[in-house]
Structure 1
Amino acid sequence: MNCSEYLVDFLVRQGVTDVFGYAGGYIVPFMDALYKRKDAIAVHVCYNEQGCALAADGFARVSGNVGVYFTTSGPGAINALGGLADAWFDGVPLLGISGNTPSTEIKGSSGLRQYGFQETDIVAIADSITKYSVTPRSAKEFPKIVSMAYNTAILGRKGGVLIDFPLDIQQAGIDRG
């Protein structure tokens, strides 16, 4: 099992039945994992990333469940910030998943960004409008991060969380745990 499959399995175990998304190159492994579980999770493809986040927000409001959306890196993730902000201001449980370049291309030791195509520090950008935003750096820490993100969205005052999901971490092998 890879981290993408782990995340989808986790969502299924939490009762997530619907996700909203917009395809892009750096989120494909997660989309493949969703496709493998199409019996359990319906994927609603949106016309743009902002629509994905807002649709997931609306779904959460109506269903009482966590809204989940996914986007690709850089401008795709940035376009979804309106939905995260809306969830922040209104206390709506929302889980955003943004694909990103491989972790080796994210913020090198020099501190410079933009090593990878459309790589953006979405965690820093989203920090003030999320309860929790994180970029996993290894498959080993991924289960803890997923659990933390989900629980943070639903506990206390509900709100939006963001997992910035690097391509190599999406593909990395992991124990089911």
Structure 2
Amino acid sequence: MQFKLLTAVTTFLAASSVQAAIAPSDIVNTLEKVTDLSSDTKDIAEDISNPVTIIPNGFKLVNNFKDIISTVTGAISMLGDLPNDPNFPEAGQTDICDAFREFVKVHQALLNVVIGKDSLLSSTPVASILAAVLRALESGVDKLAFTIIDTVPTCAAGAKKDLEALDGTIGEAIDTFSS
């Protein structure tokens, strides 16, 4: 009887410690979620157009960037469960790289709109908060990107170029709001 109980407990513990495998589609879905948040944040940034909208939309902008950071942090946690070599099929790697490229494109568009709002935001308390949030965003995006790049050897070179371009735009945004 004790042997059966021990076997049952061991089986239960082994089953509960098994983690669900992460598929390329999981990574793609996460990148698409971050891309959608970036697009929504761009809409908020575009609405900053006059003295009446600067403060309320400026803080909405900051809060949306915080949502992006939170989503990126969750993605980093999810990807932390990946084995060192997930051995994704080539088609899955391509899907991941395509989703990453789209994220970079949309996020750069967002950052360029935000940079363009410097003249309106620079004289408000939003500017210094935005600079701090952008620094946190850069750190999270870099960590996420490097993790993703490690999973896609077939298209890693392109993903690295995309990351370099994004880092340049994030750096410009940080510099804009740090001065």
Tell me if both proteins adopt one fold, taking TM over 0.5 as the criterion. Answer: no
TM-score, with length taken from structure 1: 0.27
TM-score, with length taken from structure 2: 0.27
- Greater share of strand: 1
- Greater share of helix: 2
When Rg is computed on C-alpha atoms for both structures, the one with the higher figure is 2
Higher RCO structure, 1 or 2 (CA under 8 Å, sep 6+): 2
